[in-house]
Structure 1
Amino acid sequence: MEIRRQYLGHFQFIVRKQFYRKHLVGTVSSQSSTGPNQPQARMKYPPPPSREICHKWLRDHCRLGHLCRFVHGDLDYGSPAPTPPGLRRPDPPPPEPIFPITVHDHTKVRIGSGFEIHEVTTSVETPWIVLSNIPARMKTNTIAQLLSPFGSVLDLRFPGTPTKDVMTVKARFSSHAEALQASATLDGSMVLKTRISARVPVNSRSGAVSIQDCTVRIQWEAPQKVAYGGYPTLIRAEEAIAAAKTLCGDYHVSAFIHVGLPSIGNVTVKFVHLPPSADEKDLERFGRPEDVMWERPNYPALSPAVDGIRRMLHNLGNLLELDIHPPPYSNGLIRAWATFSSSSAARSAAWALHGRKPVFTGKTRIFVRHVQVLSYHLPLDAYQKDAALIDALRVTAFRNGCAMAVAVRRLPATVLVRLSAEGTKPLGWLKAEFEMISRGEILRSDGVAVWDYFFTRPDGGTYLRSVAGNEPAVRIEVDAVRRLLKLFGPPPRRAALRTILLRKLTELKAQRVRVIRVSGRVVSAFITTQLARLCSKFGAENIHVDIWESTVTFRGDDALYDAGVDAVHQAQQSLLAQPRYRRNIVECPVCFNEVVSPITTRCGHTWCRACLAQYLLAAIENRRFPLTCLGDEAKCTEHIPLTAARDVLQPSEFNSVVEASISSYVHAHAKELHYCPSPDCLQIYRTGPKGTVVQCPACLLRICSHCHAEAHDGFACPEQDGGDRLFKEWAASHDVKNCPGCAIPIERDEGCNHVTCIQCQTHICWVCLQTFPKGEGIYGHMRAEHGGIHPQD
């Protein structure tokens, strides 16, 4: 890591040196013009083949004068020779296409060469809205007329066969803004004497899913009874307990050793969650007990209980639907979901019914919770592939208590998976875990994907198979193209395997590191003749070459180090390491040495692959986009192609540069784009008018897009005048001004009046706050309008 920091630091020094050389050359050239003491025009020479400045001339070491193939700043060059007839300059290559990329699972960007962001589609933007509680008698043209004031309706989707008095309709507008306005206006409005609900759906990895907070989850005991069976031996009793782990009608029966009264036989087994109609014949398959004793059922039948629950809900008002989960019944509980016309009605119902002990449930307690629900409709084949993992998630959610639940219901053509939780935080966890079932969990450390080429080698594959053998419920997938490890399986088992793999990665990073220092020309020969062979045998991540410090670093055991020493000796003996005097060499625009492992960009400039990679990686910290070529003494304005960037960067590094570019773009458009206020959430949303609420698709936080805080339904945005007033008082006494580009406060400590905003990269005259694209003309403006470039001038 220390070597890498030195490498980047030296690289940043080289880039700064490019800037000073650029201005140094301009100064020398301006002094070469004819002046009063020079009445005769200076001789003009033919332009050299290369447009780049001679670096030896900059160091006063070049004596070739106008014969040099590079530019000398103290010479005057004439116009280039005319192009011979019939020979024309080749056409420039066509512009690189703009690529669509999805980041953080939900945000879509269109990115071009130089990592320039052309368009951002935030994670909450969708042209669809979901209309619930629509009267089933409404026709298509009536619904279209209802939506027409908000924009163009491109699509309307109805349920196949509505069986209730109300239905759910999906409508697609031409833009997200239209959908947002329709949702805000129609939600809670009255249509044909019915109060409807309108929502913008939440994006997920599997597409848009509907989220509801107008639902209560109801649980109560199923009608059941308890039996006690006597067995002569403990072995017979254990066999009966094992046999009881099957369905008895619609019930999952549980059994365990019972100590105390009643005592039947030598060993007593207690059977719970039996159907109320169960008798001795049903217990015969559980090891044929010698004697049986029964408790009375808690209540005789389910139908009266369901009717009673429905009657209680109807008496509260605003009930839209009651959905009873079908059998089999787990843990002796009946589960149901009641949907109301509004969130407030659902909360009132939960408050009124929770904990009651009605007669029709045998005076057993009912549990009613106001929950938020996410519903997924999965194709049958997709569900069957992941059924075991979905069931494991259901068990995990149940063990975490009543705060969350997973319910699965088979429909004729699809499978409905309903996730419910009391609050957005547990629901967001359930959503992430459910979507990981099909996509897998990427192995990360501190939020960053981790990888080592060890996992692509045969010994790495053997290691992964041995680790996975200890956790048969978890599958490990190696994505060598994207440099990722993915884990599939239940959350607890994944967590155990994650710990083992992260420990292995720590061991790999802790391997012995040894450095060999050689001359610069030997480094070039080593890269050209030996590096590829060593990387293919020992892994590229274990060998690092620093061309500026002239070092080769090896991370690994003695076998790698011995092979590296032999490779360095062979590089020293090669012809490439011998001194040569060539004039027609290609120099890298970063290190100014002969190009090693060349890569040529679209503008024709050739770089060392390592130099180009480090230039791109330095942008992660610098955040100055778009990235342009450093050729022609950093005067080239051509953007670095993304194809070249993909060629020299690893996928994780490429993604890091993309994320840095997006972050820079968001900061440069601070009035329009914002990050989700949840800690560590990287989703983006757009500023909206007052009263506009958006929901983050990752953490499910509802956000007021006007004041950028958590949604405060029914209340005005919090006032912030107190803090603003104090800040304005401080800014007035500290020479602080607002950037004319992004409005962020800027404080100038020292230096000239040319200020560059670190957030939006706007070039500003500090005196009058006039802006200058790319800084062109700002110094002339300051001299002409303000008498100089410094405050004291």
Structure 2
Amino acid sequence: MVAPTNTRICHFYRQKRCRKGANCPFLHDEPASAQLVTTSARPPACMFWQSGTCTKGADCAFTHDPASTSSSNSAHTSRPECMYHLQGKCRHGEACSFAHSTPTLPIKPPTNRHPLLQVPAISKEQPKTTASRCALQHVTSIIQHTQTSNDIQKITELPQRQGVSQNIVQETEESRDAESHRDLVWHAIPGSHVQVRFGDGAVVEDVMTAFDSTRIALSKLPPDASEETIRSLVNSFGRVEDITLFEPDAGNESAPARAIVEFDSCLSALNAATALNELAVTSSLGVTSICAASVLARAGERGVASLRSNSIRLSWYAPSRLAYAHYAAIMHAKAAAKRLDKRTFDNREVAAKFQKPTWNQHTSFTVVLSNIPLSADSLHLSRFAGATDVTLGRPTYDEYRAILMLRQILSTQFGDLESLETQATRPGATKLKALARFSSPTAAEEASAALHNKQQSFLGNGPLWIERIYSIKYTASRAQFLAQRHDLELLQAEDRGDYAVKLRIYDVDANNDPVDPVTIRVYSSEPKALGKLKVVVENLLAGERWTDESGAGVWDACFAGVDGEELLAAANATGNGYARRDVHRRSIHLYGSQEGQAFLRLYLWHELESLRSRRQQLKVDKAMMRRLVTGGFARIQDVFGIENVTFNVAARTLEVRSDDVDQNTIQQILDSSSVPALDLAVAAAECPICFCQVSKPVTLLCGHVYCATCIRDHYMASAARGDTFPVVCLGEDGTCGVPIPRMDLQRLLKPDDEAAMMRSSFLAYIRARPNEFKYCPTPDCPELYRPTAEGTVFQCPSCLSKVCPACHAEFHEGSSCAEYREAKAGLGGDESFRLWKQKNSVQPCPGCGMHLEKISGCNHVVCAACKTHMCWKCMGVFAATDIYGHMKAAHSGIFD
């Protein structure tokens, strides 16, 4: 065992992460005065230890003292109860900042009966809320296992749980409503790290991206900062759930303090981190420090933008040998040394030096020739030197063994070495070069500091020079690469002057087999030059967005489905370039030569028009509605095919894709079926969908009754794939409008339909907020982020790309945001889009920022994304009932 050599407490031991055990040079014993200050004065009793299930033993952060059972009341009352634990959904477990105490019920037994005999009476009526059911089950379990009056007394003394009704049996409707609104669940969006919280009607309540968090880290605080100081800083940004203050280590009381603050929402945390960063903070004793604040991201990486590289370029002298040229006379040798010095032999510059003879030497005088290539032979060299004889010395080192040794040193001493590639040199070059790539910038920095300009024995005691290389990696599908191969190879061969900016393409593996995707790397030792080429490569790889004659992007809903996938595959099979869909941004991108892109535009437009011409949308009246939902829709699917028929119950529309279909055709199909016509004289309770007497009733919270088949198989199925939210009751001829409770949606929807509805609601929510959320710039990457100020960089947890959340592009290594935008503007950038907006009078929605184009009609415009009602003349926002009065009063009419 190694005795501690330092009086400081081990930082990792505090976090229970120290792996050195007894060999750690720092102390593993906490001092008498605790360094970690939290909001509770004493750890609460371990509820798992009390139930005999705790597995952490002495490492448990909670009290295992038998006396703690009776004293846990006071410990628990110092912290509020965890609302999510009450609901059985807390994900933090023992690490939760809120109390997880055992629930209790106020049992008041009559004087003539034992308290335990009251349990059956309590359980006759089951509570309706999740929290109450869990509490009742837990308490019943405790009572059933209690054998003594002392245990019964302990039950009655358990701390009352916050949020649980004093009498579970007599729960009111108001408490059930409050519970249903509070019981919101975070849903993970498949394929991404985004989490969404949904409410009634499947409406989005909140979105948490991978870079969002409810926690922020505060550092560089005054050494004497207290919890009250922290709370005064953060209270104004939202509800604070917890504050953990880390005081300076013992013996270093002047060091800045640190703290972690947890809010109830990620937006509060983001606002607090933005406002508190670089803010002057003064403690109660008058000590002032400049605070640093940052969000603790849930996934990926979020930090200050800095230029760091995980690549280095190594160079060293090429192996050579010495040669000894012999001359008969001393005067000839001295003349040869002057003549041969700095002359070129086999593309190498030779150094020649006369070797001073010994005092009794009278014949065979020598000139030492250095930097002689290994391939030189004595006969050729004798003629070059004009010598009577030449003796060749040993090589300075073995090149093959030197490369092996260099690889071993880099991989074993500085971390994970991803690759070491030797670079081609011109014939006769005096130096050899290689490019080493590590898994982290830290490893590259350590290797550079340790090896640069240091003599290495395996290089014949020659020096090794290291230069930092900044590189950026791109990937493209093989289909896209083949379409753009010519343009990429032109960039690769382009001469960029003095700057060593290189572009390399890795389209085959070590066995020379094609790879998919293809990797493209851009690297340089000069960050500015790298940034310029980066913009060029990114614009090339982004392709050309498919637009129509007016400059508007071409998109159709079919491109998001199987039909669009097959259409693009057929276009790509022609060999005239490559077309790719971006479902998130609803756009088509074209790659290849200008002629190839022109062909793809014509081909796709012709096929799209053919698809659109076969798509007919029919309005559904009451009589047709009943026939459709009672078997007629299945008959129509049999005639036209399931994939060619879409029934939107809420919008009362039927869409059929066929060359020859109209209202009469549909009516004939329904008449030929065995479905009875609607008797409009029926006055019994009507289903809001089929308008006939309810069959197998399903009652919603608002009181309207539906046929089980109508609401499940038709309304829910069509709403799950729609884009109108919240999903509301259709009662009272569609005027009810009460959002369907989330629990009812779960009960009515099939699992696949529920997932589809949640995703549709989420996508509609994001589309309506283009300024609040942005997609990762990598094509088809599903991750979202919130725009932030300049100087921040995100690393996407899905595609691992570095993103600049201010420029909404991949992080521009070596360039500021202003320099990047200037470089992009010089290549055209978004200038064409700006000119098109100006020419076509396109304006951003004042509600969500989405660009709108008014082709005809009056100046009352409704945004399709956020449903904002606006006056197109002045872009003012008004209620739907007030906008016409405004246009007449302010603009003398509703038209231009």
Structure-1-length-normalised TM-score: 0.39
Of structures 1 and 2, the one scoring higher in RCO (CA 8 A, sep 6+) is 1
Quick check: which has more Rg, 1 or 2?
2
